[in-house]
Amino acid sequence: GENVEQHPSTLSVQEGDSAVIKCTYSDSASNYFPWYKQELGKRPQLIIDIRSNVGEKKDQRIAVTLNKTAKHFSLHITETQPEDSAVYFCASGNTPLVFGKGTRLSVIA
């Protein structure tokens, strides 16, 4: 089955800097790669996703890149703000999705 590794587990950045979170996956048949943001005590919410037929997708300050050959994908957040502080999860697979263990991002004002 699919295995997803996510790094780093914690990340602290200064406000305005960029943050990058990386995930690797094992199943070459996986074709859907979403990223979720979870604030403390709340539900995970989808922030961006990418399918295997594209290499990059951008939505304002958030972008995701996918390298199918190397089986890894990354989340990039530019111009970070304090409200970006949360736990971020990557996921991969078909049905069901397999989630990474999460990255706790702290943006320091």
Q: How far is the CB of 102 from another protein (least distance, A)?
A: 5
Q: How far is the CB of 95 from another protein (least distance, A)?
A: 6
Dist. CA 40–CA 62, nearest whole Å = 20
Amino acid at 36: Y
DSSP, collapsed to helix, strand or coil, labels residue 51 as strand
CB 77 within 8 A of CB 61: yes
Binding footprint of another protein on the chain (CB under 8 A)? 31-32, 34, 42-46, 49, 89, 91, 93-102
Whose tokens are 């943001």? That residue is 37
Question: Of the two residues 78 and 106, which places its CB atom closer to another protein in the complex?
Answer: 106
Question: Of the two residues 72 and 104, which places its CB atom closer to another protein in the complex?
Answer: 104
